Amino acid sequence: MIIDKLIDRINELENPTVVGLDPRLEYVPSFITDKYYAKYGYTPKAVGKSLYKFNKYIIDEICDIVPAVKPQIAMYERYGIEGLKAYDKTCKYAAKKGLIVIGDIKRSDIASTAAAYCDGHIGKVKIGECEYSGFTHDFITLNPYLGSDSITPYLDACKNYEKGLVVLAKTSNPNSGEIQDLLVDGKTIYETVGSLIEKWGEELRGKYGYSSVGAVVGATHPEQAKKLREQMPHTFFLVPGYGAQGGKAEDLAVCFKDGIGAIVNSSRGIIAAHLKDEYRQSREEDFAKASRAAALAMKEDLRRCIER
C-alpha cells in the first residue's frame, strides 16, 4: 500500500515535508541556463534541459532528508513538449533517488476519459504484448467537481499498481470558498467532498488506518482543516500553502493526529531558497545547498509544532 510506504518514510526521516518541484526559469542559476542557451539557443528545449538540471541538483541535496517531492506539471506544460520532457525526467530521477513522487496534475474528466488519464499517469497501456507507463508517479492529484464516476476509474490502478490519489477538498487559494464553502443543509461542499473521499478510499486502507486516497487541505484555512481532520479519520492530508502562501506550522498542526496524518508542501520556500539572503551560497554551483538548509529548517519548524 503506497500510503504505508509514505508514512513509513515520513516516520523514518521524522519529516512530514514534501518539496514542490515547481521550477520557474528565474530560479535557475545562470551557470545552468547559459550552458543550454549556448547549445540550443533561446528555445523551449534549452529551458526544458535547464529545468531538469535545476531539479536534479535539488533532488540530490534533499533525497536523504525528505520523503517525497511534488512536481507541479503546469510549470512544465508552460513550455510545451520540451517542458513535459523535463517533467517526465524529473519524476523518473526522483523515483530513482528513492523519493515518493506526487504528480500534481489536478486532472478531471468523465469516466472513459478518466480511464485514459489513469492509464497514462498511474496505470499502464498495452501495445501489442508490451506494457508501458506514460509517467512515473506514486500519487496523483485529482479535482472532484465531476463526481464519483470521475474518480472511481482510478481505484483499480491504485490496487493493481500500488498507487495513490490525492483529491482536492479545500484548496489554499483566496477564492477557494466561492464554491467549496457553499453550505448545503448545514454542510459545506468541501465537507461533502470530504465524505466522498473517505468512501472512495475505503478499500485502500493500510496499516496505519489511512487510505491511499488522500485529500488536499490548504494550510491557509486552519479552522476548516481542524473540522476535516475529525470528519475524515482515514484520509491522509496533503497540505499546501505553508510559507510563501502564508500558512504557518502552528496553524497546520491541526492536520495531524498523534504525529501523523499529513504531509506539508513547500515549493518556493525550498527550491528558491538560494535567492534569499539567509540561505545564499557563495558559489553559484552550491545553490541547492540552500534548498537543503531550508528543508531542514522547515523540518524543525514542523517538528516543533506537531505533537507526537
Residue 83 CB, shortest distance to a copy of itself, in Å, is 7
Distance CA 239, CA 163 (A): 19
Q: Which of 5, 106, 227, 257 is catalytic?
A: 106
Under rule CB under 8 A, residue 85 binds a copy of itself: yes
β-bridge pairing 187-188 and 183-184? antiparallel
C-alpha cell at 9: 518514510
How many angstroms separate the CA atoms of 281 and 299, rounded?
A: 20
Q: How many residues bind a copy of itself (CB under 8 A)?
A: 68
Is 106 one of the annotated active-site residues of the chain? yes
Q: What one-character DSSP code corresponds to residue 264?
A: E
Q: Of residues 15, 55, 90, 172, which one binds a copy of itself by CB under 8 A?
A: 172
Footprint of a copy of itself on residues 93-122 (CB under 8 A)?
Answer: 106-111, 113-114, 116-117, 119-121
- Measured distance between the N- and C-terminal CA atoms of the chain, rounded to whole angstroms: 23
Q: Sign (positive/negative) of CA torsion 248, 174, 17, 188?
A: positive
- Measured CA to CA, the distance from residue 238 to residue 131 in angstroms comes to 30
With CB under 8 A as the contact rule, the residue among 13, 63, 65, 84 that binds a copy of itself is 84
Q: Give the contact letters, 44-63, x = binds to a copy of itself (CB under 8 A), - = no.
A: x-xx----------------
147 binds a copy of itself (CB under 8 A): yes
Residue in 193, 232, 238, 272 binding a copy of itself, rule: CB under 8 A = 193
- Give the whole-angstrom CA distance, residue 202 versus residue 134: 27
How does strand 213-217 pair with strand 237-239? parallel
Is position 275 an interface residue for a copy of itself (rule: CB under 8 A)?
Answer: no
Cell of 175: 477564492
The contact set with a copy of itself (CB under 8 A) reads: 22, 25, 37, 42-44, 46-47, 72, 74-75, 77-81, 83-85, 88, 106-111, 113-114, 116-117, 119-121, 125, 127-130, 132-135, 143-150, 168, 171-180, 182-184, 189, 192-193, 196
